[in-house]
């Protein structure tokens, strides 16, 4: 049961990292759009 718990935890951590990566990408895109509008 403990092993299963840890694998679930790893899955959650993996998806959290994925979410952060996506958020970083969208932040960067939003930032470059803002920069383009300033120019």
pLDDT in tens, 1-39: 788 988 999 999 999 999 898 887 888 888 887 777 876
- Rounded distance between C-alpha atoms, residue 22 and residue 35, angstroms: 20
26-31, Cβ contacts within 8 angstroms, sequence gap of 24 or more = none
- Rounded distance between C-alpha atoms, residue 39 and residue 29, angstroms: 16
State residue 35's pLDDT score.
78
State residue 25's pLDDT score.
85
State residue 32's pLDDT score.
80
State residue 39's pLDDT score.
65
Q: Where are the domains of the chain?
A: 1-39
State residue 8's pLDDT score.
92
- Rounded distance between C-alpha atoms, residue 28 and residue 5, angstroms: 35
Tell me the whole-structure pTM to 2 decimals: 0.53
State residue 34's pLDDT score.
79
């Amino acid at each position: 049961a403990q092993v299963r718990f840890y694998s679930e935890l790893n899955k959650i951590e993996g998806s959290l990292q994925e979410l952060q990566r996506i958020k970083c990408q969208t932040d960067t895109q939003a930032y470059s759009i803002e920069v383009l509008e300033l120019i």
